[in-house]
Structure 1
Amino acid sequence: MTGGMNTQFAVAVHVLTYLAGVPEGHAVSSDELSRSANVNPVHVRRVLGPLRQAGLVASRPGVHGGWELAADASAITLGQVWRILHGVDPVLGVHRPNPDCPVGRSVQDSLVALDRVVVDGLVRELDRHTVHDLVGGDAASLVR
């Protein structure tokens, strides 16, 4: 966590993009990925676990072991990565007001509904882009 913000999505996209640029058959260690992403190796492994369960990455044990992409980078959308890591978690930081407060209940219901709209819009936009789109590093091509 950096500055209170969850960095799992950014680290996941970084790691997936890194792995997409590695020659096929070459595995990358968690340490190498953590150095590239500039985060703790434990954080990288926490991100890689759900990605492995979803079939996006695979790990190989042994001396030449490590992590590799298990899916085509052009088939992995950023929205898919978001859903794997965040599911239906709120993005607006919705709080739990006093249940006896009518204002709190009303605001809570409105914020929850608004949060769904925001998440749906976010994921819809992320679904327009793939890991392959990021391999070239041309951010301007993403904003169209």
Structure 2
Amino acid sequence: MGINSRLSVGIHILALLEINKQGVNTSEYLASSINTNPTVVRKITGLLRNAGLVEVHPGVAGAKPAKEISEITLFDVYRAVNPDHEKELFSMHDSPNPMCPVGKNIQGSVEPHFKNAQRALEKELEKVTISDVVKNIIDKENARK
């Protein structure tokens, strides 16, 4: 599972935990909403738990946010679902040919742009909370009725 889907699944889990806070949030229930396997949900929920974003209560009780969702940003989720420190969205390929004019200069030519894009992504994710996402979901659902 790539970072993009881990991030979206993590956000989905937190939003659903809030929207269904009066219900039972087992991995099977969460997986049915995400349309994935409960094992995937348990893995992502474990990452969120390790980051202090969810509390997990094995068995019937399921999980719940560990703090107010207005305090959890999408950047927090992004960091949580990247346990292998895949913090950089973009990376350069290894060992380009130093004898080639492109090979010896490509990293220095492209890496600054990758770093700028990474910073822009992180700044955007820091602006949005799970509360913002939940509000948007509820607004969309109400507009359908």
TM class by shorter-chain length? Answer: 0.7 to 0.9
1:20 corresponds to which of 13, 18, 21: 18
TM-score for the superposition, normalised by structure 1: 0.80
Name 1:126's counterpart in structure 2. 125
Counterpart code for 2:113: L
Deviation string, structure 1 residues 39-59 (Cα, Å, up to 9, x no partner)? 222221221122101111011
**What amino acid sits opposite 2:56 in the alignment?**
S
Shift of 1:112: 2.6
Q: 1:105 to 1:88 in 2, by over 3 A?
A: farther
Q: In the alignment, residue 126 of structure 1 is paired with which amino acid?
A: L
1:5 deviates by 7.0
Match of 1:45 in 2: 42
Show structure 1 runs of 4+ deviating over 6 A.
none
Of residues 47-56 and 85-94 in structure 1, the stretch that sits farther from structure 2 once superposed is 85-94
What is the aligned residue count? Answer: 135
- Residue 31 of structure 1 is matched in structure 2 by 28
Unaligned residue ranges in structure 1 (runs of 5+): 140-144
Q: 1:73 and 1:5, CA in 2 relative to 1: closer, same or farther beyond 3 A?
A: closer
Larger radius of gyration: 2
The structure that is helix-richer by fraction is 2
**Alignment TM-score, normalising by the size of structure 2:** 0.79
Q: How far apart are 1:130 and its partner, in Å?
A: 0.4
Tell me how large the CA RMSD over aligned residues is: 2.3
1:40-79 equivalences in 2 (<5 Å):
40-62=37-59, 64-79=60-75
Shift of 1:106: 2.0
For structure 2, the 5+ residue unaligned runs are: 141-145
